[in-house]
């Protein structure tokens, strides 16, 4: 299970450059999704075997009269409130500014690890100048240069050491489904409709993150743990920026589940925030089911309305289009159990283990009929494939020249794997390795 790390600081100190540097240095294990407002990104990262989600916040400006900057300030405070650790970034060129002191005063009040990163330290003179940041009262600092990556290794080493070790998830073979989506999409109503009035069938299990609860569900032949994002305690700040906080809650819920039930309001569409949540789930390699709620409220439906709506969603989630989409109405309970049935199927797909012999018997003839195109006069010969021992489906194909296998062919192999072994709703990874 990962932690959440927030990068904070005043504007123009290099937060986004530092975030992007992590992506460039670790392309295979870090990815980002554009946030719902300017200058914020969500990423998934790994360092020394520890996973964490990274939030690049907007620039913090205390006491600004600018409406947009005031909104960013609220969101930075929410990020600090939800994060397990904070990287506070300052700029050696500007030195200690009044805004730095204001942010430092805010951070000294919280009982969480705070790492002070002094950016733009790219020569010995600036290294000497960085000493003044001791005055912020946050202890040791880390001189870095986000433009070239200097010093980031030491900073990340210290970050991993400072991150709290989350309690282990209770050992269980039950799938864990997270209900995620933007506010007012019907998450709470969906959960209440599933649980119903027969309260004796559910038991509360202490969650692995503060404020979160799992609900054990056992009805109609289905048994699973429900990660209830709708039930997480609302803080007073939530009403100030419900949109951003819903994403923060979704980050934690996605970290702790096997399958994400992404609920959207059919009357509002598959908008930017829902897409952000979808891609967060995809980049965390979780199973995904898209639930289109309030379908009964869509006016002027025609014979092909459902087909056209589904086609619109699949265009937005390309190239990962092999995702089940269920149209339902929580109010009338139409297809809500179809949603759960589909989620169980996706969980089974995500947990699927394919025998090596079966995998080779199916895939090698397909590869022989459709070999990788020659590249620079070189021909790739794939001799063997196997599924890797990971929680989600990942496959390794061994060949003579893995560097010449291009992305279109990788997508071809992925699509064939999905078709032949029914991996609907599951992000899969395909690697080509030297034999």
Please give the Cα distance from 106 to 338 (Å, whole number). Answer: 48
Q: What percent of the chain has pLDDT over 70?
A: 77
**How far apart, in whole angstroms, are the C-alpha atoms of residue 400 and residue 380?**
6
Q: Is 181 annotated as a binding residue?
A: yes
Burial zone of 128 (CB within 10 Å; 0-12 exposed, 13-18 middle, 19+ buried): exposed
Q: Is 14 annotated as a binding residue?
A: yes
CATH number of 356-434: 3.30.300.20
- 63 pLDDT more than 80: no
CA distance 66 to 68: 6
From 191-205, 262-276, 347-361, the region with the lowest mean pLDDT: 191-205
Q: Which of 279, 369, 254, 266 is nearest to 312 (CA)?
A: 266
Residue 431 annotated in ligand binding: no
259 pLDDT more than 90 = yes
pLDDT at 324 over 90: yes
Residue 161: half-sphere exposure toward Cβ, Cα within 13 Å: 7
Provide CATH 3.40.50.300 ranges for the chain: 3-162, 176-350
% of the chain at pLDDT higher than 90: 24
> For residue 222, what is the enclosing H or E element?
strand 222-228
Cα-Cα-Cα-Cα dihedral sign, residues 348, 322, 293, 227: positive
188: tokens are: 């709470």
> Does 232 show up as a binding residue in the annotation?
yes
**Taking residues 409-419, what's their average pLDDT?**
92
Q: What is the mean pLDDT of residues 30-53?
A: 60
Residue 58 assigned as binding residue: yes
Q: How many CA atoms lie within 13 A of 184 on its CB side?
A: 6
Question: Does the annotation flag 149 for ligand binding?
Answer: no
pLDDT, mean over the chain: 78
Residue 319 preceded by cis peptide, ω within 30: yes
Does the annotation list 120 as a binding residue? yes
Tokens of 419: 């078709």
Q: What is the DSSP letter of 150?
A: B
**Pair 265, 184: CB distance under 8 Å:** yes
Known binding residue 229? Answer is yes
Q: What is the mean pLDDT of residues 96-115?
A: 86
Q: What is the mean pLDDT of residues 158-176?
A: 72
Count of beta carbons in the 10 Å neighbourhood of residue 263: 28
The radius of gyration of the chain from alpha carbons, rounded to an integer in Å, stands at: 24
**139 marked as binding residue:** no
On whether 390 is known to bind a ligand per the annotation, the reply is no
What pLDDT, on the 0 to 100 scale, is given for residue 260?
A: 93
CB 217 within 8 A of CB 195: yes
335 annotated to a ligand binding site? no
209 assigned to a ligand binding site? no
Options 3.40.50.720, 3.30.300.10, 3.40.50.2300, 3.40.50.300; which CATH number does 176-350 get? 3.40.50.300
- pLDDT for the residue numbered 186: 81
Comparing 141 with 146, which gets the higher pLDDT?
141
Q: Is 287 annotated as a binding residue?
A: no
**Helix residue spans in 286-406 (DSSP H):** 305-316, 336-350, 356-369
Q: Which two tokens stand for residue 372?
A: 């990788």
Q: What gap in Å lies between CA 364 and CA 382, rounded to an integer? A: 8
Class of the CATH domain delimited by 3-162? alpha beta
Q: Give the model confidence (pLDDT) of 281-294 as tens digits.
A: 888 889 999 999 99
The Cα 250–Cα 230 span in angstroms is: 10
- What pLDDT score does 375 carry? 83
**The pLDDT of residue 363:** 94
Out of 18-22, 241-245, 311-315, the most confident range is 311-315
Helix (H) or strand (E) holding 277: helix 272-283
Q: Is 162 annotated as a binding residue?
A: no
Closest Cα to residue 326, out of 298, 352, 288, 300? Answer: 288
Dihedral of CA 187/190/311/289: which sign? positive
Q: Is 100 annotated as a binding residue?
A: no
63 labeled binding residue: no
Give the Cβ contact number of residue 406 at 10 Å.
13
- In the chain, where does the domain assigned CATH 3.30.300.20 lie? 356-434
3-state SS of the chain?
CCEEEEEECCCCCCHHHHHHHHHHHCCCCCEEEECCCCCCEEEEEEECCEEEEEEECCCCCCCCCCHHHHHHHHHHHHHHHHCCEEEEEEECCCCCCHHHHHHHHHHHCCCCCEEEEEECCCCHHHHHHHHHHHHHCCCCEEECECCCCECHHHHHHHHHHHCCCCCCCCCCCCCEEEEECCCCCCHHHHHHHHHCCCHHHCEEEECCCCCCEEEEEEECCEEEEEEEHHHCCCCCCHHHCHHHHHHHHHHHHHHCCCEEEEEEECCCCCCHHHHHHHHHHHHCCCEEEEEEECHHHCCCCCCCHHHHHHHHHHHHCCCCCCCCEEECECCCCECHHHHHHHHHHHHHHHCCCCCHHHHHHHHHHHHHHCCCCCECCECCCEEEEEECCCCCCEEEEEECCHHHCCHHHHHHHHHHHHHHHCCCCCCCEEEEEEC
The helix/strand/coil state of 291 is strand
């Amino acid at each position: 299970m990962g932690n959440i790390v927030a990068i904070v600081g005043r504007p123009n100190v290099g937060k986004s450059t530092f975030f992007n540097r992590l992506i460039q240095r670790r392309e295979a294990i870090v990815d980002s999704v554009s946030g719902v407002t300017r200058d914020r990104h969500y990423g998934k990262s790994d360092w020394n075997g520890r996973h964490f989600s990274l939030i690049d916040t907007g620039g913090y400006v205390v006491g600004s009269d600018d409406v947009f900057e005031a909104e960013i300030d609220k969101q930075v405070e929410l990020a600090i409130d939800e994060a397990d650790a904070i990287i506070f970034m300052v700029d050696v060129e500007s030195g200690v500014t009044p805004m730095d002191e204001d942010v430092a005063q805010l951070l000294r009040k919280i009982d969480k690890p705070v790492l002070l990163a002094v950016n733009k330290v790219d020569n010995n003179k600036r290294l000497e100048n960085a000493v003044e940041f001791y005055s912020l009262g946050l202890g040791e600092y880390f001189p870095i240069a986000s433009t070239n990556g200097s010093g980031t290794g030491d900073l990340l080493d210290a970050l991993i050491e400072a991150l709290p070790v989350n309690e282990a998830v209770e050992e269980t073979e039950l799938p864990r489904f997270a209900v995620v989506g933007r506010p007012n999409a019907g998450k709470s109503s969906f959960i209440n409709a599933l649980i119903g009035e027969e309260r004796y069938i559910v038991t509360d299990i202490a969650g692995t993150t503060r404020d979160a609860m799992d609900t054990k569900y056992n009805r109609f032949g289905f048994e699973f743990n429900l990660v209830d994002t709708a039930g997480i305690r609302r803080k007073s700040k939530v009403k100030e920026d419900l949109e951003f906080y819903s994403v923060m809650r979704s980050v934690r819920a996605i970290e702790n589940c096997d399958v994400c039930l992404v609920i959207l309001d059919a009357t509002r569409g598959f908008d930017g925030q829902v897409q952000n949540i979808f891609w967060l789930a995809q980049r965390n390699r979780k199973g995904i089911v898209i639930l289109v709620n309030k379908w009964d409220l869509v006016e002027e439906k025609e014979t092909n309305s459902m087909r056209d709506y589904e086609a619109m969603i699949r265009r937005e989630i390309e190239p990962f289009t092999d995702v089940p989409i269920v149209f339902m109405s929580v109010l009338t309970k139409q297809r809500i159990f179809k949603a759960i049935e589909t989620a169980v199927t996706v969980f089974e797909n995500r947990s699927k283990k394919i025998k090596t012999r079966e995998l080779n018997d199916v895939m090698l003839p397909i590869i022989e009929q459709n070999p990788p195109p020659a590249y620079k006069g070189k021909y790739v010969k794939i001799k063997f494939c196997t599924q890797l021992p990971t929680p989600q489906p990942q496959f390794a194909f061994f060949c003579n020249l893995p560097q010449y296998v291009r992305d279109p062919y990788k997508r071809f192999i992925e699509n064939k794997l999905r078709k032949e072994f029914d991996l609907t709703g599951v992000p899969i990874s395909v690697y080509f390795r030297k034999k």
